[in-house]
Amino acid sequence: MRMSQSVWVVFVKELKDALRDRRTLMAVFISSVLMGPLMLVLLSSLVGRYEKRAEAREVVVIGLDNAPALRNYIERQTFVVKKAPADWETQLKASKLGDPVVIVPADFEDDLAHGRPPRIELVYSSANARAQSGVGAIAQLLQGFDQEQASLRLIARGVAPSALNVTRIDEHDIADNAARAAQMTHIVPLFVLMSVLYGALNAALDTTAGERERGSLEPLLATPASRGALVIGKWGAVFALGLLIAVLSCLSFLPAQSLLRSESLAALFRFGWVEAAWFIGLLAPLAALVAALMMAVAIRCKTVKEAQANMVALTMVFTLTPLVGLFTQEGEAAWNLWVPSVAQTTLMDRVLKNAPIGLLDVAPSLLLCIVLTAAALMFVTRQLAKRAAQ
Amino acid sequence: MIAMDDLRKQFTTGRGRQARTVVAVDGMTLHAQDGAITGLLGPNGAGKTTSLRMLVGLVTPDSGTIRVDGVDLRDDPQGVRARLGVLSDARGLYPRLTARENIVYHGRLHGVADDVAQSRCEHLARLLEMEALLDRRTDGFSQGERMKTALARALVHDPDNIVLDEPTNGLDVVATRALREALRVLRDETGKCIVFSTHIMQEVERLCDRVVVVAHGRHVADGTVASLCAQAGSDDFEDAFVRLAFGPQGQPR
């Protein structure tokens, strides 16, 4: 029998076997395919809430009746004044109040009239993320009042207000829309990468440690099919399942976009068919490597349970290494493109940022994935007979 | 025809000072003819399973030769495996596949075309009285049902040489009788060479044309049941086996 025929027979059987494991497939489907879009929707809802607050232009104040000038200024800036609840401090600490609180002293107007700087308190809790996000806008509002008062005093003394401005600051944000959105959507490549791992995991365990545990490996090796053909057929099925879940995971982001609640995020996050195709293309070599490495780890184990324990370390390496860049905040380093899983997340990030990707960017990880996959498969082939007889 | 000559195999367990060498097979010789059932009889740990694993090429012998229908295992391991139908002590099935799918899968790996494998599967199902099982998933099969499926899987490519390692383990009386009958049919109607490894005397007496007695990895005697009884000087085959395997006092030889 030709080797290619044996490979095909094993591939079809393993795929059929894995696809009949409905419960496991459903669990993988839910965790890998639905989790990503769900996270995206939650993220967008969070961003949406912040945006809504910024648009609401509200300021929570205590004692504004003591400061008609300040009230006048605030209202001219089209801010809506809200009175702080009685237990505002407790609510702020418990994150129930989502706005910082401005406290205006009783002698505000008198101090202002006599040239004494009145002391306005801006109270927030840095443990209350919602309230803290509004601090900048309120501080800017109060500074605006401060500046207006100062300017009026200078004009009254015949001094041009521009005398206070020694320099002028012009802010330029050079990030384009896609790059800005990528800040928010860093998590997307990581989820898609995890779906490859979870998609391949069960099939990798079942075709190696599972065969040993149920005693079906020895009869399989008693057939004339070459060991290499058995391993390649099995690997092909594991790879196909990992890639299938990755494809479903990528495609699930397409409809998920319509659920984005943040309008600006929805406008910025562009994930169309082209981006999905890029993702799948980048993930394919990684899925090949993950399948081979999982099989190499699992073939040494006598039971699926033992293999699962060993697999924890492998999945952690693949999911945690891309986080290194996220934590260090140093941007892209040259080594990023050489390390499988880091390279894929880096390049997928670029796809989301709409940044260019050249052949030389893809080549290092592609080469490494091919070499490591081949090495892992040779290892599994060598181990197959040895482990069957143990 | 299966010929195993002077096979030797030892395993080393542990490392460094903990290393211990275990002699599993120490000069095993077995010649099994076509159209006959040859029993490989020995107590637990006598080296039967290791010898059969060497025959399939799962374990490499330290020395000795193995030939199946004149083909040397060292020269053509795949050719040897193609000529063998093996029911090893590991007879695991794929629980999510039906009995038919389990059997046909192995047939396909033996190079049998799909339609031929399907018709062989039907034929074996009739022989082993397991037609009702064919399209059921093997998850939840009884011991007997599992054994029948595993046996059909070993025979699907219609091999000339059949090797069965303790096939009646875990079977009830009815299933054991059915298996014995199936083996007689295979021997008498198709002239297969059958090697039957066991440690159960009654099976050997009722089924085997020739018996090879092994103990402590060595071949200690061979012949028909009657000739072995004569050799040991006993009318009872069990007594004869104990004397041959363990010596007159029942001690290992």
Are residues A216 and B93, on separate chains, in Cβ contact within 8 Å? yes
Residue B101 forms contact with A (CB below 8 Å) = yes
Residue B139 forms contact with A (CB below 8 Å) = no
Are residues A216 and B110, on separate chains, in Cβ contact within 8 Å? no
Please, is A160 exposed, middle or buried when counting C-beta atoms within 10 Å of its C-beta (0-12, 13-18, 19+)? exposed
Are residues A216 and B94, on separate chains, in Cβ contact within 8 Å? yes
Are residues B109 and A225, on separate chains, in Cβ contact within 8 Å? yes
Task: Show the tokens assigned to A220.
Answer: 């399989």
Residue B150 forms contact with A (CB below 8 Å) = yes
For chain B, give the mean pLDDT.
Answer: 90
CA pair distance A88, A62, nearest whole angstrom = 10
Are residues A220 and B109, on separate chains, in Cβ contact within 8 Å? yes
Q: Is the pLDDT of residue B23 over 70?
A: yes
Q: How many helices (H) and strands (E) does chain A have?
A: 18, 4
Question: Does residue A273 contact residue A251 with C-beta atoms inside 8 Å?
Answer: no
Residue B58 forms contact with A (CB below 8 Å) = yes
Question: Does residue A45 contact residue A256 with C-beta atoms inside 8 Å?
Answer: no
- Per-residue pLDDT reduced to its tens digit, A59-116: 999 998 888 989 999 999 888 899 888 899 898 888 888 889 999 999 998 888 888 8
Kindly report the nearest CA distance between residue B226 and chain A, in angstroms: 34
Q: Which residue of B has its CA nearest to A218?
A: B90
Residues above pLDDT 90, as percent of chain A: 38
Helix (H) or strand (E) holding A244: helix A227-256
Q: What letter would DSSP give residue B236?
A: S
Q: Is the pLDDT of residue B102 over 60?
A: yes
Residue A261 pLDDT: 64
Q: How many CB pairs under 8 A join A and B?
A: 80
- Per-residue pLDDT reduced to its tens digit, A212-223: 999 999 999 999
Q: Which of B189, B143, B186 is nearest to B166 (CA)?
A: B143
CA pair distance B190, B178, nearest whole angstrom = 18
Radius of gyration of chain B from its Cα atoms, rounded to whole angstroms? 19
- Per-residue pLDDT reduced to its tens digit, A298-314: 999 999 999 999 999 89
Residue B252 pLDDT: 47
CA pair distance A284, A179, nearest whole angstrom = 25
Task: Show the tokens assigned to A291.
Answer: 């399948």
CA angle A287, A290, A295 (to 5 degrees): 130
Task: Show the tokens assigned to A191.
Answer: 């989820």
- B105 interaction partners in chain A (CB closer than 8 Å): 9, 13
Q: Where are the alpha helices (DSSP H) in B39-142?
A: 48-56, 77-83, 99-109, 114-127
**Residue owning tokens 């290393």:** B19
Are residues B58 and A9, on separate chains, in Cβ contact within 8 Å? no
Residue A69 one-letter amino acid? A
Question: Does residue B186 contact residue B161 with C-beta atoms inside 8 Å?
Answer: no
Residue A224 forms contact with B (CB below 8 Å) = yes
| A121-123 and A80-83 strand pairing | unpaired
Helix (H) or strand (E) holding A135: helix A135-156
Q: Is the pLDDT of residue B9 over 80?
A: yes
Which range is least confidently modeled, A4-13, A156-165, A291-300, B108-117? A156-165
Q: What letter would DSSP give residue A34?
A: I
Orientation angle between helical segments A187-207 and A273-298, nearest 10 degrees: 40
ipTM computed for the complex: 0.90
What confidence tier does A136 reach under pLDDT thresholds 50, 70, 90? confident
- Provide the b/e sequence for B111-142 (b: ≥16 CB within 10 Å): bbeeebbbebbeebbebbebeebbeebbeebe
- Per-residue pLDDT reduced to its tens digit, A370-385: 999 999 999 999 998 7
Three-class SS state of B21: strand
Orientation angle between helical segments A3-19 and A187-207, nearest 10 degrees: 110
Q: Which residue of A has its CA nearest to B113?
A: A1
Q: Which of B104, B109, B171, B158 is nearest to B135 (CA)?
A: B104
Q: Best-predicted range by mean pLDDT among A21-25, A274-278, A303-307, B174-178?
A: A303-307
CA pair distance B224, B184, nearest whole angstrom = 16
- Alpha-carbon distances, residue B117 vs A217, B37, B237 (angstroms): 21, 25, 41
Query: Within 13 Å, how many C-alpha atoms sit on residue B157's CB side?
Result: 25
Query: Within 13 Å, how many C-alpha atoms sit on residue A227's CB side?
Result: 19
3-state SS track over A158-216: CCCHHHHCCCCCCCCCCCCHHHHHHHHCCHHHHHHHHHHHHHHHHHHHHHCHHHHHHCC
Kindly report the nearest CA distance between residue A197 and chain B, in angstroms: 23
- Per-residue pLDDT reduced to its tens digit, A324-375: 766 666 667 777 888 888 889 889 888 887 888 888 888 999 999 999 999 9
Mean per-residue pLDDT for B1-22? 88
Residue B159 pLDDT: 95
Three-class SS state of B27: strand
CA pair distance A136, A134, nearest whole angstrom = 6
Which range is least confidently modeled, A33-37, A139-143, A212-216, B33-37? A33-37
Residue B109 forms contact with A (CB below 8 Å) = yes
- Alpha-carbon distances, residue A322 vs A190, A305, A371, B145 (angstroms): 8, 27, 21, 50
CA pair distance A78, A58, nearest whole angstrom = 9
Question: Does residue A286 contact residue A369 with C-beta atoms inside 8 Å?
Answer: yes
CA pair distance A305, A303, nearest whole angstrom = 5
- Per-residue pLDDT reduced to its tens digit, B202-226: 888 889 999 999 988 888 899 999 9
CA pair distance B189, A195, nearest whole angstrom = 55
Helix (H) or strand (E) holding A83: strand A80-83
Are residues A9 and B108, on separate chains, in Cβ contact within 8 Å? yes
| B210-215 and B36-41 strand pairing | parallel
> Positive or negative, the Cα torsion across A301, A305, A308, A312?
negative
